Structure 1
C-alpha cells in the first residue's frame, strides 16, 4: 500500500514562508519511509496533512491510489503515534487498546481477542490492567503503538515517537520497531530529526529543508551520495572546507581531494568531510611541517576519540578516531598531525549552510 504526495503546499500566514512548499514524493508499499530534517523543515506539518489533521492549500495525497486529500480522518484507515503518547490516563492499558475498536462498534468478543493479540505483539501481556501512569516511558510508547495498530490501519504515521525518551530506551525501541515492522508489514511514515534513527530503520528517506524536498531515496544513497550541500552537511556531521580547483583537483587548504568532473580550473569549491573519513598521521620528529594541523582538543567518547583540528588555513575540522588507532598515534593537545582525507563530497560554489 503506497502513499503518493503530489505538490503539497501549506501556508499558515498570508504572505509568509510556506511550512510545506510544493512537496512531492512516493512512500513505497510495506516500507518504513522517514521524513528527515531539522526543526522547522515542515516534517510534522506534512505528516498532519497526510493524516487529515491539516488541509493543504494545494496538492493532493493518494493512499492506495485513492485521493484522500479532503477525506475525513476516520475514513483514511490510518494509525497515528505521537511523541506525547496521547494515552487516556484514566483508562487501563486494555481499555486504551479497546477504545478505537469499541468506537467502531465491533462485537465484544472480537474486541477482547484483538486486545489480547496487541498486548502479545508489543510484549506487554502482563500489564493490561495497569494505568499509563504505572508504566515506564518505553512501555507507554509501546501501548501507543499497539493502540494505533489495533484498528488494522492501512498506514502507520509516527511523529517523533521516541523524542521524549532517554537515549538507551530510544535505541531499544528503534530495534523493537524494526522487529514489529517485520511482523506487521504495515506501510509506515516516520518523522524525525535524528539522522542515525532515519538511516538505521528506514528503507526510504525523504530529506526536507525549509518546507521542500532536498533529496529522497534509500538511506545508503542519501548518506553516500548527497545531492546538495544541505544534505551533505545535515547527514553525517560534516566539516565544511573551502578551496579552489587546481590542476583538476580540489585543494582545500593543505588538503587535496577529488573535484567534480564539471569543475573548471580556479572555481571555488566546498568539501564536506565526515569526521570518520579522515586519517591522522603524526609527522616525523623535528621535520618542518608547514602543512600540518594543530590538535586543539581531544575528547574520548566511548570507543573513539573526538579530535578538533586547526588547519593551517585557520579552519577547524572535527575528526573521530577509534580508541585503538588513537592510542597507537600517541598525540596530545598541542601536537601537530597530518590529516589525510579518505573521502569527501565536493560541490562547486560557495554555499551558506
Structure 2
C-alpha cells in the first residue's frame, strides 16, 4: 500500500513560518521510505500529519489510493512507533501488545492468538509477563513494534524509533527492522536524522529542509547524484570549496573541476567534496600526476579503523580526508607535512550559495 502526500502545509501559529510547506512525495508500496533531515526540518510533523495526529492547513494524504485527509487517526488503521516507546508502565508486555486489539473488542481467543504471534515475531515470547521497567531499551522498543503491528495496520509509521538507544543497540535494531520488513513486507515510513540509518535500510529517501522536500529518490540517487547544494552538503559530510568558472572549468584555487554545461564564464561555483573522494599521496609521488595539488596536513584524528586528515590547500580552503589506517600508515606523514591531494569526485553547483 503506497502513501501519497500532496501539497501538505501545516502552520502552528497564524502568519508564522510553516513547519511543513507544500510537501509532495510518494512512499512506494512495500518499501521502507525514510524522511531524512536535520532537526527542525519538519520530519515528525509530516509523520503526524500522515498518521492523523495533526490536521493540515492544506493538502491531502492518500493511503492505498484512498483520501484519508479528513479521517481521524482511529480510522486510518496505521501503526505508529515513537522514540519514547509510549508503553503503559502498569501493564505487562502481553497487555501492552493486546491493548489495540481489545479496544477493537475482538474475541479473547483471537486477541491471545495474535499476541502470541506478535511476541514470536519480535522474539520476546519468554517476556510476556514482564513489565516495561523490567526490559532493556531495545526490548521495550520491540514491544512497541509488536503493539503497532498487532492491529494489522495498512502502513507502519516510525518516529525516530532508535533515537534513545545506544549505538550498539541501535545498530542491532536496524538489522532487526530490516529482517522484520522482509518478513512482513509492510509499507513503512521512518523519520530519522541519521544518514547512515536512512541510506542503509531504506529503499526510498525523502530529504527535507526547512519544511520542504529538497530531494527524493533511491539511497544511491541521494548520495551519488545530489540535486542541490543543501543535499550535497548534508549527505556525507562534504567539505566546501568555492571558486569561479574559468575557461569552462570550475577554478577552485589550485583545483580545476568540471562544471554544469550551462555555466557562464566568471560565475561563482561551489564544489562539495566528501572525505573519501580525495586520494592522498606523498609529495615525492606528485610528479606522476598530470595536475598535482599539494596541501599541508593541519590535523590528524584517529577514529577506529580510519584516520581523518584535515588538509589545508594552497587556496587556504580546508578539506577533510578519510583514509584507512593501513593507507595512512603507508603514507608515513605527520601534522605539518605536505601531501599530494587528488580529488577523484565532487558535486559542483553554479551560483553564490550561503551554506
User: Is the contact made by 1:82 and 1:158 (CA closer than 8 Å) also made in structure 2?
Assistant: yes
Residue number in structure 2 paired with 1:302: 304
Alignment partners' CA distance in 2, 1:139 and 1:308: 40
Residue number in structure 1 paired with 2:140: 140
By how many angstroms is 1:291 displaced? 4.8
Q: Tell me the alpha carbon deviations over residues 203-232 of structure 1, each in whole angstroms, 9 at most, x when there is no partner.
A: 111110000001101110010000100000
By how many angstroms is 1:259 displaced? 1.4
User: Is the contact made by 2:12 and 2:19 (CA closer than 8 Å) also made in structure 1?
Assistant: yes
User: Is the contact made by 1:93 and 1:129 (CA closer than 8 Å) also made in structure 2?
Assistant: yes
Map of 1:254-293 to 2, 5 A cutoff? 254-284=254-284, 291-293=293-295
Residue number in structure 2 paired with 1:342: 344
Residue number in structure 2 paired with 1:328: 330
Is residue 89 of structure 1 aligned with residue 89 of structure 2?
yes
**TM-score (normalizing by structure 2):** 0.97
Alignment partners' CA distance in 1, 2:65 and 2:286: 70
SS of the residue 2:335 aligns to: coil
User: Is the contact made by 1:257 and 1:343 (CA closer than 8 Å) also made in structure 2?
Assistant: no
By how many angstroms is 1:266 displaced? 2.1
Alignment partners' CA distance in 1, 2:344 and 2:120: 48
1:331/1:21 CA distance change after superposition, 3 Å: same
Residue number in structure 2 paired with 1:171: 171
Alignment partners' CA distance in 2, 1:298 and 1:304: 11
Map of 1:220-231 to 2, 5 A cutoff? 220-231=220-231
1:244/1:70 CA distance change after superposition, 3 Å: same
Q: Tell me the alpha carbon deviations over residues 13-62 of structure 1, each in whole angstroms, 9 at most, x when there is no partner.
A: 12211000000011100100111000110100000000000000000101
Q: CA RMSD in A?
A: 1.5
Alignment partners' CA distance in 1, 2:284 and 2:131: 66
Alignment partners' CA distance in 1, 2:78 and 2:293: 58
Map of 1:1-353 to 2, 5 A cutoff? 1-284=1-284, 291-353=293-355
Q: Tell me the alpha carbon deviations over residues 75-133 of structure 1, each in whole angstroms, 9 at most, x when there is no partner.
A: 10100000000000111101100111111111111111111100110011111111100
Alignment partners' CA distance in 2, 1:285 and 1:47: 53
User: Is the contact made by 1:290 and 1:312 (CA closer than 8 Å) also made in structure 2?
Assistant: no
Any stretches of 5+ residues in structure 2 without a counterpart?
A: none
By how many angstroms is 1:256 displaced? 2.1
Q: Tell me the alpha carbon deviations over residues 227-246 of structure 1, each in whole angstroms, 9 at most, x when there is no partner.
A: 10000000111001001222
By how many angstroms is 1:252 displaced? 1.0
SS of the residue 2:183 aligns to: helix
What is the total number of aligned residue pairs between the two structures?
352
SS of the residue 1:284 aligns to: helix
Q: Tell me the alpha carbon deviations over residues 239-297 of structure 1, each in whole angstroms, 9 at most, x when there is no partner.
A: 0100122222212112222211221222211000000000011112999x995211111
**TM-score (normalizing by structure 1):** 0.97
SS of the residue 1:208 aligns to: strand
User: Is the contact made by 2:294 and 2:341 (CA closer than 8 Å) also made in structure 1?
Assistant: yes
Q: Tell me the alpha carbon deviations over residues 164-197 of structure 1, each in whole angstroms, 9 at most, x when there is no partner.
A: 0001111110011000000001100000011110
Alignment partners' CA distance in 1, 2:120 and 2:189: 23
User: Is the contact made by 1:241 and 1:315 (CA closer than 8 Å) also made in structure 2?
Assistant: yes
Alignment partners' CA distance in 2, 1:308 and 1:265: 31
Alignment partners' CA distance in 1, 2:294 and 2:239: 17
